[in-house]
Chains A and B, each alone.
Chain A
Amino acid sequence: MQLDRRAFVKLVAGGVGGTLLSPLPWKLLDDVSIWSQNWSWRPSPERGAATMVNTVCQLCPGGCGIRVRLINKKNAVRIDGNPNHPVNRGGICPLGASGLQFLYGPSRIETPLQQTGKRGDLKTLKPISWDDALKILAEQLQGMRKEPQGLVCLTGRSKGTVSELLARFLQAYGSPNFLVMPSEAETESLGLLVSQGEAGQVAYDLEKSKLVLSFGADYVGGWGAPARMMAAFDGWRSKPQGERTRIIYAGPRGSLSASKADDWVAIAPGTEAALALGLASVIVREQLYSQAFVAGAFGFEDWSDGQGRSRQGFKSLVIKDYAPERVSEITGAAKEKIVELAREFAKTKPAVALSGRGQGRAPDSLYEFLAVQSLNALVGSLRQPGGVGVSPKAPLTAWPAVAQDEVSKKGCSAPRLGGAAADVPVSSVQNLVKRMSEGKPYQAAMLWVYEANPAYSLSEGKELLAALEKVKMVSFSSFMDETAMMADLVLPAPTFLERLEDGPTPAGLQYTVFNLSTPVLKPKFETRHPGDVVIKLAKSLEGSIAASFPWNDYEAALKERVKGLAAGKSGWVAAEAGLQPWAKLGQTLEPNYSSFDDLWKKLTENGCWCDTSQGMGAGAFKTHSGKFEFACQRLREMGVAGDDLACLPHYEEPVLAGDPAQYPLVLVPYEIMALTNGPLANPPFMTKMLFDFELKGSDLCVEINPQTAAKAGLKEGMPVGLKTERGTFRARVHLTNVARPGVVFIPVGLGHRGFDAYIKGKGVNVNEILIPQQDRVTGLPTWQGTRLAIVKA
């Protein structure tokens, strides 16, 4: 038999026909289409049982309770708000919801690092063991001990047990240079000290307010405790018609809060104090103020000081200097509007005015704070339901006094490198940078940085890096931020999900909160708790330093403080939904725990202890007069320059850097919820929330009014150069009516050079061209504005 061509074709045709009648081709076709679904190298989350663990978010000072969803008790897959936590009541902000991207993101520092080459060179920042790192640090500290005041610690967190331990270490070692990053909380605390006699933070009883007047406070944009504010806003807006809380927003930018308010009073940037005093002037002139409160206050009428000299009081000041006509000229708000607003504010009860522009984190001038709070006092809202007061402090046990040897005592008596011109208990980082670079009055030798990113967040970032030439820097950062990149030694901390950490009462709260974050999973890397590091370091040093740290570890030190809560016999561990502590203000709460051990156990399970027994302040004020002081006598004692005005809230026209002829516009930075601007950088989830008129590709967009743009010949999206006396950067313009004519608004939080590929190089950092004013009392940088010119890109 011979197989010819035709026969072969038939064989093949038969074969093809047979195959087509089998599943082979169809199955293969299907398999090819689902081929990639089970690739072994494709990331696949582990499956398993889910558990929820309660803890507290530490990504901002907002103090929200969160629940972390874990798979197989080791992989965190989601963060939700904890409905039992009274602060956020189940709510969560974008930063908290993105929290896992900090835990698993690529910017984590995995081991201690030592710079072996030139500062800032990441290739020579080499891993080192914890034992070696601590040995090196202990040796350096031992060597510096003759001049202990050369040790400087800069923290982004003024409260909490780690900061207390750091401050304690500096005191025991012999340095007065414990500094907090510039913060409105510092201004607020000083303001309360001089007007009400006690440092602390302002408590706003917002849940009961009938009228809320915000002086630039972005109440739904991250001001105060952000999730609490969202819940409060929800409460104001959920009331039936007629009982709805009225919201008035005064500020230069049409922020989210301006758009959610019933009324937006657009004023010139930096004139909030003038507006507040203008309202006060109308209220005083029309006698709409609370006669009862004013009768019991000091400095409303003219007064005489110890030497019998007559001094100006608040009443004559506002009548003389802040008539609506003049305030209208300063602020740009209509005279009639000022009068109308004043009447409404005085007649609606309870009414409350909010201070702290933007998110209330960047410092404002002390006198602006005093002006707004005087307005609250004037209408009798102080210590009243729906009004303001002082946030009560949690009754934590005080640690034993620090043991100080001679070296320590001498060192601590040296002048503070961050001291302001006046003798105020505020630390100025601007002054620190200046004195560090001058080497006067003495040379700083080592800088510790904890929960702060000064190389990014300070306008003096460059000056700081120059000043660091002669200084060793130690970073406790969990992430490769701009400051850690410049460090000589990095001692990485575990993230907030991997460590024990306490949290104080969040900003603006009217009841006491003690938050406790517990580790929801084991540390992913070779990190150590900064509290443990400080204690270990202290124990390895000579002198009396070790004696000041009688605890084995951070947990022991923390537990000792928490014992005070159990001893207080009032307060709840928030373990059920629907707690409304603000409704029980001033009442003693029957504790829902039996002993310290029980309290600790419940705290670690639930995360929050709260109490209402102290209210928002009661009894005599601890000022010299024993009264609320409109004229703050203590400011004169502190050596604040200026005659009568030194003690009185007043408006000072900001002196903006730059010649108006050369720089015709004004730059004002602003904050938004979609951009974090503390020690952290945006996680990818949050960056996704930015609109393309905020960040277009890698270009930052700045807000400018269409009128201003037309004059300069600018069109939407055009790239421009923005120039101030400090520098120039490139951005695109976004034309919008939320921007006041003549002002360029620039968001804070972009332009990172550190962290990871997801945020690096996106946008520009406004701090690089911003020239803040230094508040003349506190020495803190304030964002009143910087003169700016638009140049060719």
Chain B
Amino acid sequence: MSGEKKQQGSDKVGWVLFVVGLVGGLVVGWVLFPQVLYSTQQQPLNFNHVVHVEGGGMNCEDCHQFRPDGTYAGFPGVDNCAGCHQAPMVSGDTKTEEKLIAEYIEPGKDIPWVSYSWQPDNVFFSHAAHVKGAQMKCTECHRDVLKEAKTPLVKVNRLTGYRADTMKMFVCEDCHAAKNVPNGCDVCHK
């Protein structure tokens, strides 16, 4: 009898341990793993989209431009900033602006922004085809920055170098399929 009891007690403990293991596994997989997998990078400067859009009355296109040949210019060059910030113009927290002027505008150096959605060289992606051709909104792929007062950290995969926000291939494919546009390999991989 006592052996049987012991056996039952052991079973209970065993199931408790199973649940402990399960919960532990879930915590590792969902919470710890992403923290370990991604390193975080701070942008060289904080860029306050709210101040520029609401306060400065600027449009997205004032900084995020297409070149005359139709290619997307990527991050705005420092000339864009210098257009307004050649001399200090901000009241209140001026530290960021001081840094902007001293480290970038005066030496004429582009700000080394880190991309949130960097695609590697084996991907051919044309912004013009999507924005000008297919008339898509930026926010269909990118986060909405209009309410962003503080630039978020950039999460970079330690193994692959991919950004956490880089679009995966299946997302491209799903959208292409849904919109009935070519999905062949050579559309994106030249």
Contacts and interface: CB of A to CB of B under 8 A. Distances in A.
Interface of A: 1-4, 6-8, 10-25, 27-28, 31-32, 34-35, 37-40, 42, 44-45, 47, 49-50
B25 A17 contact: yes
Nearest to B74: A47
Contact of A14 (B20, B30, B71): B20
A18 B160 contact: no
Contacts of A40: 161
Interface stretch (B9-17, B48-56, B137-145, B177-185): B9-17
Contacts of B15: 10
A20 to B, nearest CB: 8
A31 B121 CA distance: 17
Top 8 closest A-B pairs, CB basis? A22-B29, A18-B25, A14-B21, A38-B161, A15-B21, A14-B22, A14-B18, A24-B29
A8 B27 CA distance: 19
A38 B25 contact: no
Given A16-B25, A18-B25, A34-B162, 6 more contacts: A7-B10, A14-B25, A18-B24, A23-B30, A24-B28, A31-B160
Given A24-B28, A37-B160, A14 B10 contact: no
Interface residues of B, number: 34
Nearest to B163: A38
A7 B162 contact: no
Contact of A21 (B25, B71, B162): B25
A17 B13 contact: no
Contacts of A12: 21
B37 A14 contact: no
B26 A21 contact: yes
B159 interface: yes
B28 A22 contact: yes
Nearest to B73: A49
Contacts of A3: 17
A13 B23 CA distance: 11
B157 interface: yes
B17 A10 contact: yes
Interface centre among B22, B27, B122 (most CB of A within 10 A): B22
B19 interface: yes
A111 B71 CA distance: 38
A45 B159 contact: no
Contacts of A2: 10
Given A4-B10, A14-B18, A14-B19, A27 B37 contact: yes
Given A37-B160, A38-B161, A50-B69, A11 B18 contact: yes
Contacts of A18: 21-29
A14 B17 contact: yes
B190 interface: no
A1 B14 CA distance: 11
A4 to B, nearest CB: 6
A25 B30 CA distance: 11
15 contacts: A11-B20, A13-B21, A14-B24, A14-B25, A15-B24, A17-B25, A18-B23, A18-B26, A18-B28, A20-B25, A22-B26, A22-B30, A35-B159, A37-B162, A39-B161
Nearest to B157: A31
B10 A11 contact: no
Contact of A23 (B20, B29, B71, B74): B29
Contacts of A35: 159-160
B33 interface: yes
B188 to A, nearest CB: 13
Contacts of B57: none
A15 B13 contact: no
Contacts of A45: 121
Given A27-B37, A38-B162, A49 B29 contact: no
Contact of B21 (A11, A23, A25, A31): A11
A416 B97 CA distance: 75
Contacts of A25: 29
B161 A49 contact: no
B22 A17 contact: yes
A20 B21 CA distance: 12
Contacts of B23: 14, 18
A116 B23 CA distance: 75
A37 B10 contact: no
A144 to B, nearest CB: 52
B65 to A, nearest CB: 11
B121 A44 contact: yes
B106 to A, nearest CB: 22
A2 to B, nearest CB: 8
A24 B33 contact: yes
Nearest to A42: B121
Nearest to A49: B67
A34 B33 contact: no
B83 interface: no
Nearest to B37: A27
Contacts of B159: 28, 31-32, 35
Nearest to B30: A22
Contacts of B34: 23
Contact of B17 (A7, A17, A49): A7
B120 interface: yes
A38 B160 contact: yes
B14 A15 contact: no
Given A16-B25, A31-B159, A7 B33 contact: no
Contacts of A34: 160, 162
B104 to A, nearest CB: 18
B28 A19 contact: yes
B54 to A, nearest CB: 30
A7 B14 contact: yes
Nearest to A4: B10
Contacts of B20: 11, 14
A22 B33 contact: yes
A37 B17 contact: no
B171 to A, nearest CB: 13
B122 A37 contact: yes
A50 B160 contact: no
Contacts of B33: 22-24, 27
A19 B71 CA distance: 43
B56 to A, nearest CB: 26
B160 to A, nearest CB: 5
B93 to A, nearest CB: 33
A36 to B, nearest CB: 9
A17 B21 contact: yes
B14 A6 contact: yes
Contacts of B37: 27, 31
Interface centre among B20, B25, B26, B30 (most CB of A within 10 A): B25
Nearest to A16: B25
A45 B25 CA distance: 42
A1 B17 CA distance: 12
B116 to A, nearest CB: 15
Interface in B49-89: 67, 69, 71, 73-74
Contacts of A7: 10, 13-14, 17
A3 B10 CA distance: 9
B25 A22 contact: yes
Contacts of B27: 18
Interface string B110-152: 0000000000111000000000000000000000000000000
B38 to A, nearest CB: 11
A30 to B, nearest CB: 8
Interface string B92-111: 00000000000000000000
Nearest to B158: A31
A112 B177 CA distance: 59
A49 to B, nearest CB: 6
B18 A21 contact: no
A35 B27 CA distance: 25
A6 B10 contact: yes
A226 to B, nearest CB: 28
